[in-house]
Structure 1
Amino acid sequence: MHSSLIIGPLLAEHYPAVAAIYAAGIATGNATFATDIPDWATWDQSHLPAARLVALAPDGAVAGWAALTPVSGRCVYRGVAEVSVYVDAAYQGQGVGQALLRQLVQEAEAQGLWTLQAGILRENAASLALHRRLGFRDVGIRERLGQLQGQWRDVCLLERRSAVVGV
């Protein structure tokens, strides 16, 4: 990781930068099926309150962010969450995503989560490599799961089972 970056909690004041990084991810066509940026209230409500992270540069700029979304409201899945990790283009390839995901895993386990999952578009090689590097395993490929810009897209499903929670 860029040695001067600091990983800290993602706060409402960071959201304009978080939204801009998310918008850039949407623009790549390989980060998400989403096409719109939610406002803070919508984003805040849809993500778990714990384990929301930003990577901050020395000047306070948000270099990247990570957060968790519940996979289901059913109590049996209370320990399972979906991972989101986004890195500003200016900081990609510098270990920011790895630092964020590593910290996200630690905080998720501290919150009692036993499984983290990621649905990654097949073409997003960097994200697939990042998740595999940090212990996520390939579960399978959901073929033609959804359309993006009129094209059917496959999603690789990965998961990481905690070795310390729920064992």
Structure 2
Amino acid sequence: MPTIRPMTSADADAVLQIYQEGIDTGHATFERDPADWAKFDAGKLARPRLVAQGDSGDVLGWAVLSPMSSRCVYGGVAELTIYIAAAARGQGIGKALLMALVEASEAEGLWTLVAGIMRENEASIRLHEACGFELLGYRKRIGKMGFGPMKGKWRDIAWMERRSEVVGVG
């Protein structure tokens, strides 16, 4: 199993490369290209940001959180993003990384994590379900693909949520 550790700016190239691999599937994001590191960094919460690192030191996957809203009432709610390197998929790395992110998010006082996953990304939906996320429903025709094998097609997004059992339970 990989080592799960905090993401640093030294991981930027590997993180953006793995993001590109996800983009290339056509089922991970509406984004056509990964942002540069400064833009990526600016849109995420400072903590937690995690990477899964293999024995040889290579980054095998990453997980980060973005604020759900700037309104204070949503201060404990974040949207998660998780990507696993193509060569590392199907090895349990995603589950280890996502569960570590859940634990780290609770340590930061977050009580709800949400995820928007393209309907066709069944592996990601199963991963989230295995980590305690509930499928709330589908946001139908939420966006039109601008690239890839589904270019020009409207996409449905599975909306999933995990409510902490230790933070915000009172």
Q: Same fold (TM over 0.5)?
A: yes
**TM range, smaller chain:** over 0.9
1:70 and 2:67 are equivalent in the alignment:
yes
Q: Kindly provide the CA deviation profile for residues 23-48 of structure 1, in whole angstroms up to 9, marking residues without a partner as x.
A: 01011000111112111111111000
Q: What is the match of residue 146 of structure 1? A: 143
Unaligned runs of 5+ in 2: 146-150
Distance in structure 1 (CA, Å) of the matches to 2:3 and 2:164: 25
Q: Distance in 1 between matches of 2:75 and 2:144?
A: 29
- Aligned with 1:157 (options 149, 156, 159): 159
Note the C-alpha offset of 1:59.
Answer: 1.2
SS in 2 for 1:165: coil
Q: 1:22 aligns to what?
A: 19
TM-score (norm 2): 0.95
Give the C-alpha shift of residue 112 in structure 1.
Answer: 0.4
RMSD, matched Cα: 0.6
Which residue number in structure 1 is paired with residue 148 of structure 2? Answer: none
**What is the letter of the counterpart of residue 159 of structure 1?**
E
SS of the residue corresponding to residue 41 of structure 1 reads helix
Which residue in the other structure is 2:107 paired with? 110
The CA distance in 2 between the partners of 1:120 and 1:13, in whole Å, is 28
**Aligned residue-pair number:** 164
Question: Structure 1 residue 18: deviation in Å?
Answer: 0.4
Cα separation, 2, equivalents of 1:78 and 1:34 = 26
Aligned residue among 84, 89, 92 for 1:92: 89
Q: Provide the C-alpha distance between the structure 1 equivalents of 2:157 and 2:58, rounded to a whole number of angstroms.
A: 31
Letter of the structure 1 residue corresponding to residue 36 of structure 2: D
Query: TM-score, length-normalised on structure 1?
Result: 0.97
Q: Structure 1: which 5+ runs fail to align?
A: none
Superposed structure 1 runs of 4+ greater than 6 Å apart: none
Query: Which residue of 3, 7, 11 maps to 2:8?
Result: 11
Alpha-carbon distance in 1 for matches of 2:144, 2:8: 32
Distance, in Å, in 1 between the alignment partners of 2:73 and 2:153 is 34
User: Which of 31, 34, 54 is the matching residue for 2:31?
Assistant: 34
Looking at structure 1, the residues matched to 124 and 21 of structure 2 have their Cα atoms a distance apart, in angstroms, of: 15
Distance 2:104 2:134 in 1: 19
